[in-house]
Amino acid sequence: MILHQTQLAAGISAIGKAVSQVVKIKTVDNSEKEIRLEAVKALNDAGRLLTDLQFKLSLARRAHITPTLNFLMKTIADQNPVGVLLVEASKSISKVGKELRKEKPPILSRKKHTLPIALRLTNRTPGL
């Protein structure tokens, strides 16, 4: 699917270049202007169709990928639009997470003995 999207993106780029070239053409009479306008309209329609297809392929690709992602990546995918690169978004979130992990609160250790030290030394329990 990636190969298809790459090829589609190349086609969209080519249409954009063609529109730029048509716009640069200098026209003298009205008939040439109308022909140029019609050419730009046709290229514009083709570009819209291809970009819509690119968007739909991106949605389908995301739908196939997200079920296999871990919780963090799935959350990032759900919160960001299709155009956002998920890898870059996950790196920035992971960086913030690592910074938060650096500031760990002190861990309170459990006391093994609850009896006062004097009673532990004599091996006696209270009330005996």
Read off the amino acid at residue 19: V
Q: pLDDT value at position 78?
A: 80
pLDDT digits over 40-99, tens only? Answer: 999 999 999 999 999 999 888 888 888 887 887 788 778 877 776 666 666 676 676 666
Contacts 24+ apart (CB under 8 A), 14-21: 15/43, 15/46, 15/47, 15/50, 16/47, 18/43, 19/43, 19/44, 19/47
Tell me what the pLDDT averaged over the chain comes to.
78
Which pLDDT does position 13 carry in this prediction? 95
